[in-house]
Structure 1
Amino acid sequence: MGKTSLPHLARRVITSSSSHFRCFSTTPSSNNKLFVAGLSWSVDEKSLKEAFSSFGDVSEVRIMYDKDSGRSRGFGFVNFSKEDEAASAKDAMDGKAFLGRPLKVCFALDKVHREPVTTRHTNSRISFGRNH
């Protein structure tokens, strides 16, 4: 198995806990999509689009909802038509209070498709790894 450099793997990472989100991101080469965290449960797509529309043409807004409760998970995505509009919105809205809560805004990461993690039992030891 070939080695992949750590900087390559960890170029852009988003971590979260129940109380906050932190974004670590290099500026992507072409990205019109923003990740927006810290959303109040009362925020809907319409109000989020209105909040970001002053920076340019918002092509799509998606708030992520819990599939069991139907309640907002506190984050979503805002897509702009142009990259420079997304960058302006990111710079202006990151840390800004929206409906009483500070937003955390960064460029969205590309979705990574990985194989599922499996559990292997060997001689009373359990090891975790990826299917190859």
Structure 2
Amino acid sequence: MSIYIGNLSYDATEEDITSIFAEYGTVKRVQLPTDRETGRMRGFGFVEMDSEAEESAAIDALDGAEWMGRDLKVNKAKPREPRGQGGGGRRGGGNRDGFSRRY
């Protein structure tokens, strides 16, 4: 299981996050997703800790806390939902102009 951290400052680093969460236990991994186009951090991240007790302590202490000028949103991460396979982006029938024709 992992912890979701939202409303992060775009200036936050993995080292910053590790330092804050280490106060509540052993940090196994920090992941800060970046935008594919710009390379800029997306404002959220994930932390894995050594035990559920440590995760719970961190969530209780940090959810709603002000850090780097922002109020953090910290909770248990939800499992990622599978994405559907791409189908070209068009929905329903029809031709290129978007209208269906019945003959």
Q: Which residue pairs with 1:124 in the alignment?
A: 100
- Aligned-residue RMSD, C-alpha: 1.7
Question: Sequence identity of aligned pairs in percent?
Answer: 34
Please give the alpha-carbon distance, in whole angstroms, between the structure 1 residues aligned to 2:83 and 2:6: 24
- When the two structures are aligned, how many residues end up with a matched partner? 94
Deviations 1:4-62 (A, max 9, x none): xxxxxxxxxxxxxxxxxxxxxxxxxxx3x100001101100000110110000000001
Please give the alpha-carbon distance, in whole angstroms, between the structure 2 residues aligned to 1:83 and 1:111: 19
TM-score, structure 2 as length reference: 0.83
Please give the alpha-carbon distance, in whole angstroms, between the structure 2 residues aligned to 1:97 and 1:115: 37
Please give the alpha-carbon distance, in whole angstroms, between the structure 1 residues aligned to 2:41 and 2:82: 24
Name structure 2 gaps, 5 residues minimum.
Answer: none
Pairing of 1:87-98 with structure 2 (within 5 A): 87-98=56-67
- Alpha-carbon offset, residue 111 of structure 1: 1.6
| Structure with more contact order per residue of length (Cα contacts < 8 Å, sep ≥ 6) | 2
The structure whose residues are more often strand, as a share, is 1
- Alpha-carbon offset, residue 120 of structure 1: 2.0
Where do 4+ consecutive residues of structure 1 move more than 6 Å? none
